[in-house]
Amino acid sequence: MSKTAIITGATSGIGYQIALILAEKEYNLLLVSRNKEKLESIKLNFEKTYKVEVDYFVSDLYEKHESKNVFDYAISKKLNIDILVNNSGYGLYGEHTDSSLDKINNMLNLNIIALTELCGYFGNYMKQNNSGKILNVASVAAYQPTPYFAAYGASKSYVLNFSEALAKELEDYNVSVTCLSPGATKTEFFTVAEVGDISGQMSEKNRMSAKKVAEIGVNAMFNKKLSVIPGFKNSFLAFSNRFAPRILVANISKKIMNKG
Protein backbone atom coordinates (compact mmCIF):
# COMPACT_ATOMS: atom_id res chain seq x y z
CA MET A 1 0.00 0.00 0.00
CA SER A 2 1.42 3.42 -1.01
CA LYS A 3 2.63 5.65 1.77
CA THR A 4 1.00 8.97 2.61
CA ALA A 5 2.52 12.26 3.78
CA ILE A 6 0.36 14.78 5.63
CA ILE A 7 1.53 18.37 5.13
CA THR A 8 0.09 21.46 6.79
CA GLY A 9 0.44 24.81 5.01
CA ALA A 10 1.04 23.24 1.60
CA THR A 11 -0.62 26.00 -0.45
CA SER A 12 2.47 28.21 -0.64
CA GLY A 13 6.13 28.73 0.22
CA ILE A 14 8.13 26.05 2.01
CA GLY A 15 5.14 23.72 2.53
CA TYR A 16 4.27 23.75 -1.17
CA GLN A 17 7.88 22.89 -2.09
CA ILE A 18 7.93 20.04 0.46
CA ALA A 19 4.69 18.69 -1.05
CA LEU A 20 6.26 18.87 -4.53
CA ILE A 21 9.37 16.92 -3.46
CA LEU A 22 7.28 14.23 -1.75
CA ALA A 23 5.00 13.95 -4.80
CA GLU A 24 8.12 13.43 -6.96
CA LYS A 25 9.05 10.64 -4.54
CA GLU A 26 5.56 9.18 -5.19
CA TYR A 27 4.13 9.78 -1.77
CA ASN A 28 0.36 10.17 -1.69
CA LEU A 29 -0.51 13.44 -0.02
CA LEU A 30 -3.05 14.77 2.43
CA LEU A 31 -2.71 18.56 2.34
CA VAL A 32 -4.09 20.79 5.08
CA SER A 33 -4.64 24.57 4.69
CA ARG A 34 -7.44 27.15 4.67
CA ASN A 35 -7.55 27.95 0.94
CA LYS A 36 -9.80 25.39 -0.81
CA GLU A 37 -9.22 26.76 -4.34
CA LYS A 38 -5.45 26.53 -4.02
CA LEU A 39 -5.68 23.02 -2.50
CA GLU A 40 -7.94 21.85 -5.35
CA SER A 41 -5.60 23.30 -7.97
CA ILE A 42 -2.54 21.63 -6.38
CA LYS A 43 -4.42 18.32 -6.27
CA LEU A 44 -5.31 18.50 -9.98
CA ASN A 45 -1.82 19.61 -10.99
CA PHE A 46 0.06 16.98 -8.94
CA GLU A 47 -2.24 14.10 -9.91
CA LYS A 48 -1.75 15.02 -13.58
CA THR A 49 2.05 15.24 -13.25
CA TYR A 50 2.99 12.54 -10.72
CA LYS A 51 1.89 8.99 -9.92
CA VAL A 52 0.17 10.05 -6.71
CA GLU A 53 -3.22 10.48 -5.10
CA VAL A 54 -3.73 13.87 -3.49
CA ASP A 55 -6.45 14.60 -0.97
CA TYR A 56 -6.95 17.72 1.10
CA PHE A 57 -8.64 18.87 4.27
CA VAL A 58 -9.67 22.52 4.46
CA SER A 59 -8.83 23.71 7.94
CA ASP A 60 -8.17 26.79 10.00
CA LEU A 61 -5.70 25.12 12.31
CA TYR A 62 -5.85 27.80 14.94
CA GLU A 63 -9.45 26.83 15.71
CA LYS A 64 -9.90 24.52 18.69
CA HIS A 65 -10.27 20.79 17.87
CA GLU A 66 -9.12 21.22 14.27
CA SER A 67 -6.09 18.96 14.84
CA LYS A 68 -8.43 16.20 16.05
CA ASN A 69 -10.63 16.75 12.97
CA VAL A 70 -7.55 16.38 10.71
CA PHE A 71 -6.53 13.19 12.51
CA ASP A 72 -10.05 11.70 12.42
CA TYR A 73 -10.30 12.50 8.70
CA ALA A 74 -6.94 10.82 7.96
CA ILE A 75 -7.95 7.72 9.95
CA SER A 76 -11.39 7.56 8.29
CA LYS A 77 -9.63 7.48 4.90
CA LYS A 78 -7.56 4.46 6.06
CA LEU A 79 -4.34 6.12 4.86
CA ASN A 80 -0.98 4.47 5.34
CA ILE A 81 0.51 7.51 7.09
CA ASP A 82 4.31 7.58 7.03
CA ILE A 83 5.12 11.32 7.24
CA LEU A 84 3.69 14.31 9.10
CA VAL A 85 5.01 17.76 8.16
CA ASN A 86 3.96 20.52 10.57
CA ASN A 87 4.73 23.56 8.44
CA SER A 88 1.70 25.91 8.81
CA GLY A 89 2.72 29.02 10.66
CA TYR A 90 3.17 32.75 10.42
CA GLY A 91 4.72 35.71 12.20
CA LEU A 92 3.40 39.07 13.41
CA TYR A 93 5.83 41.96 13.23
CA GLY A 94 5.82 44.99 15.55
CA GLU A 95 6.03 45.96 19.19
CA HIS A 96 4.24 43.33 21.26
CA THR A 97 2.50 45.93 23.45
CA ASP A 98 0.94 47.55 20.35
CA SER A 99 -0.21 44.25 18.82
CA SER A 100 -3.74 42.83 18.79
CA LEU A 101 -3.76 40.12 21.45
CA ASP A 102 -6.46 38.23 19.54
CA LYS A 103 -4.09 38.05 16.57
CA ILE A 104 -1.21 36.97 18.83
CA ASN A 105 -3.41 34.24 20.37
CA ASN A 106 -4.39 32.94 16.94
CA MET A 107 -0.74 32.82 15.91
CA LEU A 108 0.25 30.95 19.08
CA ASN A 109 -2.65 28.51 18.59
CA LEU A 110 -1.35 27.73 15.11
CA ASN A 111 2.42 27.80 15.69
CA ILE A 112 2.33 25.99 19.05
CA ILE A 113 -0.98 24.31 19.95
CA ALA A 114 -1.92 22.82 16.57
CA LEU A 115 1.62 21.51 16.03
CA THR A 116 1.73 20.00 19.54
CA GLU A 117 -1.65 18.31 19.12
CA LEU A 118 -0.89 16.96 15.63
CA CYS A 119 2.39 15.51 16.96
CA GLY A 120 0.37 13.89 19.77
CA TYR A 121 -2.25 12.29 17.52
CA PHE A 122 -0.04 11.23 14.62
CA GLY A 123 2.97 10.48 16.86
CA ASN A 124 0.84 8.01 18.79
CA TYR A 125 -0.38 6.43 15.51
CA MET A 126 3.24 6.10 14.29
CA LYS A 127 4.36 4.69 17.64
CA GLN A 128 1.68 1.96 17.39
CA ASN A 129 2.97 1.15 13.87
CA ASN A 130 6.60 1.28 15.01
CA SER A 131 7.32 3.47 11.98
CA GLY A 132 7.07 7.08 10.85
CA LYS A 133 8.71 10.46 10.37
CA ILE A 134 7.74 13.91 11.63
CA LEU A 135 9.19 17.16 10.24
CA ASN A 136 8.41 20.29 12.27
CA VAL A 137 9.19 23.74 10.87
CA ALA A 138 10.64 26.18 13.42
CA SER A 139 12.92 29.10 12.45
CA VAL A 140 16.36 30.53 13.18
CA ALA A 141 14.30 32.93 15.33
CA ALA A 142 14.15 29.99 17.76
CA TYR A 143 17.82 30.41 18.66
CA GLN A 144 17.70 33.86 20.29
CA PRO A 145 15.22 36.50 21.51
CA THR A 146 13.72 38.37 18.54
CA PRO A 147 12.55 41.91 19.44
CA TYR A 148 9.63 43.07 17.20
CA PHE A 149 8.92 39.39 16.50
CA ALA A 150 8.86 38.63 20.25
CA ALA A 151 5.93 36.19 20.45
CA TYR A 152 6.66 34.65 17.03
CA GLY A 153 10.32 33.98 17.90
CA ALA A 154 9.34 32.54 21.27
CA SER A 155 6.77 30.27 19.59
CA LYS A 156 9.55 28.90 17.38
CA SER A 157 11.84 28.34 20.39
CA TYR A 158 9.00 26.19 21.72
CA VAL A 159 8.82 24.27 18.42
CA LEU A 160 12.58 23.64 18.46
CA ASN A 161 12.74 22.42 22.07
CA PHE A 162 9.50 20.45 21.83
CA SER A 163 10.60 18.72 18.61
CA GLU A 164 14.02 17.73 19.92
CA ALA A 165 12.50 16.38 23.15
CA LEU A 166 9.83 14.46 21.23
CA ALA A 167 12.52 13.03 18.95
CA LYS A 168 14.23 11.49 21.97
CA GLU A 169 10.94 10.02 23.26
CA LEU A 170 9.95 8.52 19.92
CA GLU A 171 13.34 7.18 18.81
CA ASP A 172 12.65 4.03 20.85
CA TYR A 173 9.64 3.33 18.59
CA ASN A 174 11.38 3.80 15.24
CA VAL A 175 9.71 7.20 14.74
CA SER A 176 11.99 10.12 13.85
CA VAL A 177 11.31 13.79 14.57
CA THR A 178 13.33 16.43 12.70
CA CYS A 179 13.22 20.16 13.31
CA LEU A 180 13.83 22.44 10.31
CA SER A 181 14.84 26.00 11.26
CA PRO A 182 14.97 28.19 8.15
CA GLY A 183 16.44 31.68 8.03
CA ALA A 184 14.84 34.35 5.84
CA THR A 185 13.21 32.56 2.89
CA LYS A 186 11.47 33.88 -0.25
CA THR A 187 7.80 33.16 0.55
CA GLU A 188 4.63 35.01 1.53
CA PHE A 189 5.92 35.12 5.13
CA PHE A 190 7.15 38.74 5.13
CA THR A 191 3.97 40.03 3.47
CA VAL A 192 1.72 38.13 5.92
CA ALA A 193 3.83 39.42 8.85
CA GLU A 194 3.54 42.98 7.47
CA VAL A 195 7.26 43.61 7.84
CA GLY A 196 7.43 46.14 5.00
CA ASP A 197 10.81 47.15 3.56
CA ILE A 198 13.71 45.65 5.46
CA SER A 199 17.44 45.79 4.83
CA GLY A 200 20.27 43.54 6.05
CA GLN A 201 20.01 39.84 6.71
CA MET A 202 16.26 39.62 6.11
CA SER A 203 16.22 41.76 2.97
CA GLU A 204 14.77 40.22 -0.17
CA LYS A 205 18.15 39.68 -1.83
CA ASN A 206 19.42 37.72 1.22
CA ARG A 207 16.46 35.30 1.38
CA MET A 208 16.97 31.64 0.42
CA SER A 209 14.67 30.00 -2.09
CA ALA A 210 11.79 27.97 -0.61
CA LYS A 211 12.80 25.07 -2.90
CA LYS A 212 16.32 24.91 -1.40
CA VAL A 213 14.97 25.13 2.17
CA ALA A 214 12.44 22.36 1.45
CA GLU A 215 15.13 20.10 -0.08
CA ILE A 216 17.36 20.53 2.97
CA GLY A 217 14.44 19.84 5.33
CA VAL A 218 13.22 16.74 3.49
CA ASN A 219 16.78 15.30 3.22
CA ALA A 220 17.30 15.85 6.95
CA MET A 221 13.98 14.12 7.66
CA PHE A 222 14.87 11.06 5.54
CA ASN A 223 18.31 10.97 7.22
CA LYS A 224 16.55 11.09 10.63
CA LYS A 225 18.50 14.18 11.71
CA LEU A 226 17.43 15.84 14.96
CA SER A 227 17.70 19.42 13.68
CA VAL A 228 18.77 21.31 10.61
CA ILE A 229 19.38 24.99 9.78
CA PRO A 230 19.59 25.70 6.04
CA GLY A 231 22.53 27.87 4.92
CA PHE A 232 26.01 28.31 6.37
CA LYS A 233 25.44 31.90 7.56
CA ASN A 234 22.24 30.96 9.40
CA SER A 235 23.87 27.90 11.04
CA PHE A 236 26.93 29.92 12.02
CA LEU A 237 24.84 32.67 13.65
CA ALA A 238 22.71 30.17 15.60
CA PHE A 239 25.85 28.33 16.72
CA SER A 240 27.79 31.45 17.74
CA ASN A 241 24.83 32.64 19.87
CA ARG A 242 25.63 29.86 22.30
CA PHE A 243 28.96 31.39 23.24
CA ALA A 244 28.06 35.10 23.37
CA PRO A 245 26.56 36.81 26.45
CA ARG A 246 22.74 36.90 26.22
CA ILE A 247 22.67 40.71 26.46
CA LEU A 248 24.96 40.97 23.42
CA VAL A 249 22.83 38.50 21.46
CA ALA A 250 19.64 40.40 22.38
CA ASN A 251 21.19 43.74 21.36
CA ILE A 252 22.37 42.42 17.97
CA SER A 253 19.01 40.76 17.39
CA LYS A 254 17.22 44.06 18.12
CA LYS A 255 19.37 45.80 15.49
CA ILE A 256 18.68 43.13 12.88
CA MET A 257 14.92 42.93 13.58
CA ASN A 258 14.48 46.70 13.76
CA LYS A 259 14.58 46.86 9.96
CA GLY A 260 18.30 46.18 9.64
Ligand X SMILES: NC(=O)c1ccc[n+]([C@@H]2O[C@H](COP(=O)([O-])OP(=O)(O)OC[C@H]3O[C@@H](n4cnc5c(N)ncnc54)[C@H](OP(=O)(O)O)[C@@H]3O)[C@@H](O)[C@H]2O)c1
Residues engaged in binding ligand X (CB under 6 A) = 8-15, 33-35, 38, 59-62, 87-91, 110, 137, 139, 182, 184-185, 187-189, 192, 210
Nearer to ligand X, 139 or 176 (CB): 139
Q: How far is the CB of 131 from ligand X (least distance, A)?
A: 25
Count of residues for the chain? 260
The rounded distance, in Å, linking the Cα atoms of 121 and 242 is: 33
Identify which of residues 78 and 205 has a Cβ nearer to ligand X in the complex: 205
Residue 177's SS3 state is strand
Smallest separation, CB 42 to ligand X (Å): 10
Residues annotated catalytic, as ranges: 152
Query: Smallest distance from the beta carbon of 91 to ligand X, in angstroms?
Result: 6
Q: Which C-beta is closer to ligand X: that of 127 or that of 211?
A: 211
Query: DSSP assignment of 28-85, as one string?
Result: EEEEEES-HHHHHHHHHHHHHHSS--EEEEE--TTSTTHHHHHHHHHHHTT--EEEEE
Sign of torsion over alpha carbons 108, 181, 259, 205? negative
Give every CB contact of residue 72 below 8 A, 6+ residues apart in sequence: none
Helix, strand, coil shares, percent, the chain, to 5: 55, 15, 30
CA distance linking residue 60 with residue 249, whole number of Å? 35
Which residue is nearest to ligand X, using beta carbons?
13
Provide, rounded to whole angstroms, the least separation between the CB of residue 168 and ligand X. Answer: 22
